[in-house]
Amino acid sequence: MALLELKNVSKSFGSGSTKVNVLSNINLAVEEGEFVAIVGFSGSGKTTLINLVNGLHFPDQGEVLLHGLPITGPGPDRGVIFQNYSLLPWLSVYNNIKLAVDEVFPKLSKMEKDLHIKKYISMVNLSHAKDKMPSALSGGMRQRVSVARALAMDPEILLMDEPLSALDALTRGTLQEEIVTIWSQNRKTAILITNDVDEGILMADRIIPLTPGPNATLGPEFKVDFERPRIVTEINKNSTYKRLRNDILEFLIEVGSTRRQFSDQKYLLPNLQPTYPGRRAFWKKNVNT
Amino acid sequence: MEAWVNTPDQFILKEDDRADMLVCDKLRKAYPTPKGDYVVLDQLQLKIKQGEFVSIIGHSGCGKSTLLTMIAGLNPVSGGTIMVDGFPIEGAGPDRAVVFQSPSLLPWLSALDNVMIGVKQVFPKASKAEKVEICKYYLDKVGLGNDFHKRATSLSQGMQQRVGIARAFALKPKILLLDEPFGMLDSLTRGELQDVLLEIWQKEKITAVAITHDVDESIFLADRVIMMTSGPYAKIGDELCIPFDRPRNRKEVLEHPEYYDYRGYLMDFLNH
């Protein structure tokens, strides 16, 4: 039995004429220890999908099953990493993580908790910054805290909702590697939501595209079986990689092209020449006459 | 292209019979610090032909944006010259339109009015109807044909950036400067906007310079990719010509047998 299963799940928001069907007919089975990436356009319902799994939303139709039982609400067995970090700004790095640890492991002694927290802080290379406030950290460092907080709960499933989208390309690359390295150590089940095909290929075992909404649904899955760690410059020469990347991108271009809107009216461009203010316009006039 | 009476020697037509639209000669930018000058760019040479699409890639902080803002005239040069269409630039002007990374629209104006501001400046003698027609033409081209009167704030970021592109093209500039134009958009929306940009560019054949750190974007857009070394003292490290046919179709470009060679070449440059 799959660890997590979504069966014919549909979800809509609003009612009457303003009703929007965000997701329809989602079927997904995630096995234990698997790393699945869901790639989709912004606004297609990726976050809604994650919220169905973490228990913040419930499906209108169909069911979301964890170990074969329906999900009844959020719980520490599913750790979430949000795009906007969602740290408590008045707590230090250490205390942000402590908050989660206190909640999940109330029976640990003070010292055990301390060791536990420090282990995860060092895992994300933040030991030097453990007493800093989130406001004193860069975006990349904040996201590291968020990763440590989710992992410190020792969840069965790690849910990542566009964790790296707000970061610049360089930090993004480093964090992708770090997350994969940490993930490889204990191979927990992980679901990554992303809009970046390359991120999916570098991190996941399986990539499933989400078609643009409304009525978004999952497309055909793409298996990624490259050895980890995957290094972009190396796999770039691999012909399987090229094929895989092109197939995914082309699928997304195909489904994305239906989104383009055209208006019926045609506009004609008046044939006018611009005038540029300043000395050059004056110059030009003198040269010509 | 108009022939100038006093054409300097270096602008005489060469093997590529297009004239140079942009020439940067021994360009230098230094910011004074208490410990002496911090030199961002030094001895930078760059020539871009009329109608060419060039993209510039490099790491963040290497001075790409500094170069672009200097060409735009928003940032004074510390040494060397920048010539546009044969004349040295003097400050910013509508002959060099800029699309910024953040959409930079006036939030209290509609999409149409945001484009209109620039159009009024460069077509002062056009009739009101003609000006509106120009704005509508470009907004329609970027896919906002149904949203002329929506306020900037009620548009999504991708749509705001579309207005930014329309605003730049509507000026009929000699050079289009794009400063990581799609950097804030998700990678799939980015692809759509690249298509929109190339579609209009294909019609107008404006000289364009795009800064990006996305390797795929730089290949898809440009005739020539310029790689900048990391600062300080940044200059042009290498160049790569992208000979793919135009108009370009994303799928065909991806399927081109040499596509991943170009991609690998650029990634190697960035990783060393």
DSSP codes of every residue in chain B: -PPPTT--GGGS--SS-SPEEEEEEEEEEEEEETTEEEEEEEEEEEEEETT-EEEEE--TTSSHHHHHHHHHTSS--SEEEEEETTEE--S--TTEEEE-SS----TTSBHHHHHHHHHHHH-TTS-HHHHHHHHHHHHHHTT-TT-TTSBGGGS-HHHHHHHHHHHHHHT--SEEEEESTTTTS-HHHHHHHHHHHHHHHHHH--EEEEEES-HHHHHHH-SEEEEEPPSSSB-EEEEEE----SS--HHHHHHSTTHHHHHHHHHHHHH-
What pLDDT shows up at residue B59? 81
Find the CB nearest A268 among B137, B188, B250: B137
- Is 80 exceeded by the pLDDT of residue B188? no
- Is 90 exceeded by the pLDDT of residue B64? no
B175-179 sheet: strands from edge to edge? B96-99, B175-179, B207-212, B53-57, B224-228, B236-241
Residue A87 banded pLDDT, cuts 50, 70, 90: very high
Quick one: closest CA in A to B97, which residue? A276
What pLDDT shows up at residue B270? 87
Mean pLDDT of B185-205: 86
Q: Do the Cβ atoms of A256 and B146 come within 8 Å?
A: no
What pLDDT shows up at residue B192? 85
Q: Do the Cβ atoms of B264 and A237 come within 8 Å?
A: yes
State the helix-helix crossing angle for A110-123 and A93-104, rounded to 10 degrees: 120
Instruction: Using a CB–CB cutoff of 8 Å, tell me whether B251 touches chain A.
Output: yes
Give how far B143 is from chain A: nearest CA, Å: 6
pLDDT, tens only, B219-258: 999 999 999 988 788 889 899 999 999 889 999 999 999 9
Instruction: Using a CB–CB cutoff of 8 Å, tell me whether A83 touches chain B.
Output: no
- Is 60 exceeded by the pLDDT of residue A288? no
One-letter amino acid of B33? T
Residue A42 banded pLDDT, cuts 50, 70, 90: confident
Whether the ipTM is more than 0.85: the answer is no
- Is 80 exceeded by the pLDDT of residue B4? no
Mean pLDDT of A140-152: 92
Mean pLDDT of A12-38: 92
- Is 50 exceeded by the pLDDT of residue B6? no
What is the percent of chain A where pLDDT is above 70? 93
Find the CB nearest A253 among B95, B125, B250: B250
What pLDDT shows up at residue A257? 77
Of the listed ranges A63-77, A137-151, A264-278, B247-261, the one predicted with least confidence: A264-278
Give how far B236 is from chain A: nearest CA, Å: 20
Mean pLDDT across chain A, nearest whole number?
Answer: 88
What pLDDT shows up at residue B10? 43
pLDDT, tens only, B27-60: 999 988 898 888 999 999 999 999 999 999 988 7
- Is 50 exceeded by the pLDDT of residue B8? no
pLDDT, tens only, B144-167: 888 899 999 888 888 899 999 999
pLDDT, tens only, A111-125: 999 999 999 999 888
- Is 50 exceeded by the pLDDT of residue A211? yes
Give how far B213 is from chain A: nearest CA, Å: 8
What is the percent of chain B where pLDDT is above 70? 94
Q: Do the Cβ atoms of B146 and A261 come within 8 Å?
A: yes
What pLDDT shows up at residue A263? 64
> Whole-prediction pTM value?
0.83
- Is 60 exceeded by the pLDDT of residue A217? yes
Chains A and B: how many Cβ contacts under 8 Å?
Answer: 114
Instruction: Using a CB–CB cutoff of 8 Å, tell me whether A252 touches chain B.
Output: yes
Which chain A residues are within 8 Å of B169, Cβ to Cβ?
Answer: none
Residues 203-242 of A with CB under 8 A from B: 232-233, 236-237, 242
Quick one: closest CA in B to A265, which residue? B145
Instruction: Using a CB–CB cutoff of 8 Å, tell me whether B158 touches chain A.
Output: yes
- Is 70 exceeded by the pLDDT of residue A280? no
pLDDT, tens only, A224-269: 998 888 888 888 889 999 999 999 999 998 888 776 666 667 888 8
What pLDDT shows up at residue A256? 81
Which chain B residues are within 8 Å of A253, Cβ to Cβ?
Answer: 191, 250-251
pLDDT, tens only, A155-178: 999 999 999 887 777 788 888 988
pLDDT, tens only, B81-138: 999 998 899 888 889 999 998 888 999 999 999 999 999 989 988 999 999 999 999 9
Give how far B83 is from chain A: nearest CA, Å: 12
